[in-house]
Structure 1
């Protein structure tokens, strides 16, 4: 039986990991109190292979995740149909208050948001910059995407 178009454009697990590592913007959907999707775009990095970002403790997405941890993330790119690529992750958004991982992710994401050179996860950051980012992180939590299902596509494959 011939492979379906869907099978032909699906990324391998290695391609998914490489694609997620090469990108930094993710569309995040959580479930609002009335069941409607709450959708935002966030800067992210990977932490232990998972999409990770920081956000204010009182943000709507955190309120939603504390009520219902269901979360969907979409990383996509391409302009023309034949260039479209993306990864959709369906699962749970974990709210992490531990300052250690929050700081590691915050240094990467905070540097990117400030237009500064972006360090690799865990690399040292200029102490003055690190102090400013840590001050900003005091009001934030870390969100980790714990995927249960991953769907991918890369139209460049056909």
Structure 2
């Protein structure tokens, strides 16, 4: 995909598969809703979660965003990078609100804010600084 197509794909998607590295070196893989922070993948999670502990030890991540059910429809973006922790409460809540908007399209911010403020008390956010991007679009094969 072109850089423009990758950007559009990231903007139009909502979930990713996030891989961090466990203490024993095995991958820890979870599905996450995500947002975008100046075009970079951003997510929030509980400060005591396994992914947070993993990222504190080793910030390297892989983020897979994919779509399509049949082979000829498969497309995706794989972002490799380093997750930078965000502790500033205002930024954490801003990222949380962006994630919540993408989780629940069409729901007004005033309905999302109580959820974001409540759950945000125990959350931290991360922004992924890209080191490599791999993409594919099987629709172009036909």
Q: CA RMSD in A?
A: 1.5
1:77-96 alignment, distance < 5 Å? 77-96=67-86
The answer for unaligned runs of 5 or more in structure 1 is: 1-10, 120-124
1:76 aligns with 2:59: no
- 3-state secondary structure, aligned to 2:106: coil
Among residues 19, 36, 47, which one is paired with 2:37 in the alignment?
47
Q: How many residues matched?
A: 141
Matching residue of 1:117:
106
Contact 1:108 1:118 survives alignment (8 Å): no
1:30 aligns with 2:20: yes
In structure 2, what is the Cα distance between the partners aligned to 1:34 and 1:79? 33
- 3-state secondary structure, aligned to 1:79: coil
TM-score in terms of structure 1 length: 0.83
- 3-state secondary structure, aligned to 2:136: strand
Contact 1:72 1:89 survives alignment (8 Å): yes
Structure 1 segments, 4+ long, off by >4 Å, are none
Matching residue of 1:130:
113
In structure 1, what is the Cα distance between the partners aligned to 2:81 and 2:125? 16
Matching residue of 1:141:
124
The answer for unaligned runs of 5 or more in structure 2 is: none
TM-score in terms of structure 2 length: 0.92
